[in-house]
């Protein structure tokens, strides 16, 4: 019993420490309240990374990425795209609200812009964007919208865009980290993204990870691949160091 109590205390203590390392930031889009998270080095003059979370909103993967980025010398801010009262509780709800922002990409770009403003207020000197899944789609939308960022990293994001959208001349560097067995990305979307980036004269690269399903970077996913996730993170850090330092 004593061992169990000690274990529980350690777990609770670890969770408290984890929570204390990220600070809540409340901001708004009109009447919609948004609640992001920023690392404790907020206020210093450092390069910054905006993290766009997956389709269920701010999750443990995004939080851990923020903490790891802080250790690497960056201010990290996790965006709240959906806003208070709109966080989905299951996959069906997540698919619905994420789909709304994928279709209304200007609204998505606007929410990303608001989060970038918060990161700047936190002291970020230069800024890059990384995103997971739905957030990876957002990273590409930041590039397509020519938002003021030095680079974007799309981590197992959706790659397609509507055929009737105008071609963009890209002004930011792009890294796509793509799982080889991602069933949510068609070959057509993959090929069309390359055509899109080439037509927009982008500085781009795609790294494809073998033996990986869609959510290969998330330790809480059954598709998690520890070896490839570690490689992807090192590739992310290498890219961020190039564009921000």
What's the pLDDT at 205? 98
Task: Using 50 as the pLDDT threshold, list the residues of the chain that sit under it.
Answer: 1-20
> Alpha carbon 97 to chain centroid distance?
17
DSSP 31-94: TEEEEEEEETTTTS-EEEEEEE--TTSS-HHHHHHHHHHHHTT-EEEE--SS-TT---SSHHHH
CA 206 to each of CA 16, 61, 175, 195, 203: distance values in angstroms, whole numbers, following the listed order: 38, 22, 6, 13, 11
For the record, the structure tokens of 75 come out as 């201010």
Residue 91 near residue 10, CB atoms below 8 Å: no
What's the pLDDT at 8? 44
What's the pLDDT at 238? 98
Q: For the chain, how many residues are written?
A: 245
Neighbours of 76 (CB within 10 A): 29
Tell me the C-alpha distance between 37 and 100, whole Å: 23
What's the pLDDT at 129? 98
What's the pLDDT at 10? 44
For residue 140, give the DSSP letter.
H
How are the residues of the chain apportioned to helix, strand and coil, as percentages rounded to the nearest 5? 40, 20, 35
What's the pLDDT at 18? 47
Residue in 148, 191, 140 with CA at minimum distance from that of residue 168:
140
CA 13 to each of CA 10, 63, 64, 65: distance values in angstroms, whole numbers, following the listed order: 5, 17, 16, 20
Q: pTM of the prediction?
A: 0.92
What's the pLDDT at 3? 43
Residue 208: its H or E element? strand 204-209
């Amino acid at each position: 019993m004593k061992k169990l109590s000690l274990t529980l205390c350690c777990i609770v203590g670890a969770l408290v420490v984890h929570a204390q390392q990220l600070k809540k930031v409340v901001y708004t889009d009109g009447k919609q309240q948004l609640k992001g998270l920023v690392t404790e080095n907020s206020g210093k003059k450092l390069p910054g990374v905006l993290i766009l979370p997956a389709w269920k909103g701010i999750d443990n993967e995004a939080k851990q990425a923020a903490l790891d980025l802080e250790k690497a010398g960056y201010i990290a801010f996790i965006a709240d795209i959906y806003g208070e009262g709109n966080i989905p509780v299951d996959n069906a709800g997540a698919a619905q609200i994420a789909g709304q922002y994928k279709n209304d990409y200007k609204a998505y770009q606007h929410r990303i812009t608001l989060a970038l403003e918060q990161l700047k207020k936190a002291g970020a000197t230069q800024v890059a964007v990384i995103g997971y899944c739905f957030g990876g789609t957002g990273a590409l939308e930041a590039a397509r919208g020519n938002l003021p960022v030095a680079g974007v990293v799309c981590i197992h994001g959706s790659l397609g865009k509507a055929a009737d959208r105008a071609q963009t001349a890209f002004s930011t560097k792009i890294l796509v980290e793509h799982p080889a067995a991602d069933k949510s990305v068609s070959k057509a979307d993959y090929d069309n993204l390359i055509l899109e980036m080439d037509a927009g004269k982008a500085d781009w690269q795609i790294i494809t990870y073998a033996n990986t399903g869609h959510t290969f970077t998330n330790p809480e996913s059954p598709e998690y691949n520890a070896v490839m996730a570690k490689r992807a993170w090192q590739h992310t850090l290498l890219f961020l160091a190039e564009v921000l330092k």
